[in-house]
A = this chain, B = another copy of it.
Amino acid sequence: MKLPEGIRNQVVMEFPSRPENVAFARTAVAVFAAQLEFTVDELDELKVAVSEAVSNAVVHGYAGEDGCIRLEAAITGDGCLVVAVQDRGRGIEDVESARQAQWTTKPEEHMGLGFTFMEEYSDRVEVESAPGRGTTVTLYKTPARARIPS
């Protein structure tokens, strides 16, 4: 298996966009992430961030229809965890607005806090999206321990 340049280890997962797979996805990523020196608190944070990205693919990307979610989790050479959550659903018209707190296209049921939680609980969030083509959200998180010079 040829890993991409600069990647030390990687898992790729694909599953249908169902609410019951959100727990699977966040837990599987946390188990993989345990190969790095994350604290229990950091793994809890990671679970929230992944849960938001995958829930968005289910709720907004495929809007309740059965689509395929692809999740890649990778460990980079310098010990960063990168998680990319990809759907081939409806995509986001205006990414900049979507990322703002309390911005939601489903105000009856949702609070527009998904991206806020992703930002809060990871180091960096990247969003790539095209209407009608789908969305890829990429989360970056490095264990705090690894960032303290020893």
Contacts of A11 in B (CB 8 A): 13-15, 21, 24
Q: Interface of chain A, helix or strand or loop or mixed?
A: mixed
With contacts A24-B31, A28-B31, A32-B24 taken as known, whether A1 is within 8 angstroms of B13 at the C-beta atoms is no
Is A93 located at the chain interface by the 8 A CB criterion? no
Shortest beta-carbon distance, A146 to chain B, in Å?
A: 17
**Are A9 and B18 CB-contacts (below 8 A) given A1-B66, A1-B67, A31-B23?**
yes
Chain A residues 7-31 with CB under 8 Å of chain B are 9-18, 20-21, 23-24, 27-28, 31
Residues of B within 8 A of A21 (CB): 9, 11
A100 within 8 A of B: no
CB distance from A16 to the nearest CB of B (A): 4
* Alpha-carbon distance between A31 and B31 when the two chains are bound, in angstroms: 10
